[in-house]
Structure 1
């Protein structure tokens, strides 16, 4: 066999062997932020919405994650329940579930909100997808009785399914006008950054609990 041909075969075999033993590049851990306008980033650029800012913060801590934004403005828990199966794709490792604010604004019975959240968490767990539940608080104008019934549902659902709970999504924003849009309801980019900063330890622990990142 001519030397050049033999040399070419040798190089090909070496490259083939190298490609076999070289580990494939790890894919980012797929997370979905599922919720309403607070998750979607109402009136904000895509890069300033909660999922994008959270992904950036987690990556800065060395966590290789990708957080998809599955927030839809106006969604109630009923609307979320109707779309969650197709909004959370296969391959998703964890869901940050944030819904209920619009239920409270519309005066929907807290018992119905709780049932919807329960069904969403159950469905995700059946698919082998971990859940971080994010709580909300009823607005004061709904009255003491409604607030008491509504505000307890998140801890009840989290306890029933043994999933982590972040008690109040708008912590650090709701009482600070400079962290809100002009409507006084939604966070601005600065407000989202505050939300991310406060929630980051909880989310970091959640991501690590998935068992795919050291």
Structure 2
């Protein structure tokens, strides 16, 4: 990822209520296991261990007395193809009840075909659902220099996948970070990756949709 792409952000999509009940339901009474499959936005890139939004999620679950296990399987630089290639092993190893899917930014940076990104996200979502996990998809936004048409079509990929698979969708992982008045101060020197100060806002964007899924168990 280079400097001109600091606006490129992960955005998790948040679902409408009807979608929440359409996904495969985990076994009643089972302790939630949340698998996060993402890229550098979820992998604590440039942060001290424990500062990222995923570790903060663990703390929030504990504070709200929700006995859940969080597995962060995010890898900086990962693409949807990379995530798809390793997902079967992750599902077999961790047997998640929920999966947060935050991939796609690096597909755009590498100029990969939108059809491939859509197919990879679709197959990952279906595989997780077939394994009994409810899925929360991360959408991606690209900067205007990609062109209006590409920007629109790329963003639509995540909405389409969520709609076709009835997965949950959160609008924007970096809402209040990349588009806020203090955006410049919320990014690291590379102007791509959010600082530690931005991580609580990112969690606040993910939490409502994820909490709904957890409440449905």
TM-score (norm 2): 0.80
Residue 62 of structure 1 deviates from its aligned partner by: 2.4
State how far apart, in whole Å, the 2-side matches of 1:127 and 1:27 are.
14
In structure 2, the residue matched to 1:184 is: 191
- Contact 2:174 2:202 survives alignment (8 Å): yes
Q: CA separation of 1:91/1:56 partners in 2, compared to 1, >3 Å: closer, same or farther?
A: same
- 2:63 aligned with 1:60: yes
State how far apart, in whole Å, the 1-side matches of 2:87 and 2:53 are.
19
Aligned with 2:135: secondary structure?
A: strand
Structure 1 portions without partners, runs of 5+ = 1-25
Residue 28 of structure 1 deviates from its aligned partner by: 4.6
1:163 to 164, 167, 181: 167
Residue 71 of structure 1 deviates from its aligned partner by: 0.4
1:129 to 110, 128, 133: 133
In structure 2, the residue matched to 1:198 is: 205
TM-score (norm 1): 0.81
1:109 to 113, 122, 135: 113
Q: CA separation of 1:125/1:148 partners in 2, compared to 1, >3 Å: closer, same or farther?
A: same
- 2:52 aligned with 1:49: yes
1:80 to 68, 78, 83: 83
Structure in which a larger fraction of residues adopt helix = 1
Aligned with 2:50: secondary structure?
A: helix
- Contact 2:138 2:170 survives alignment (8 Å): yes
Aligned with 2:45: secondary structure?
A: coil
State how far apart, in whole Å, the 1-side matches of 2:215 and 2:78 are.
29
Structure with max Cα Rg = 1
State how far apart, in whole Å, the 2-side matches of 1:46 and 1:186 are.
15
Structure 2 portions without partners, runs of 5+ = 1-28
State how far apart, in whole Å, the 2-side matches of 1:151 and 1:199 are.
18
State how far apart, in whole Å, the 2-side matches of 1:96 and 1:160 are.
17
Aligned with 2:66: secondary structure?
A: coil
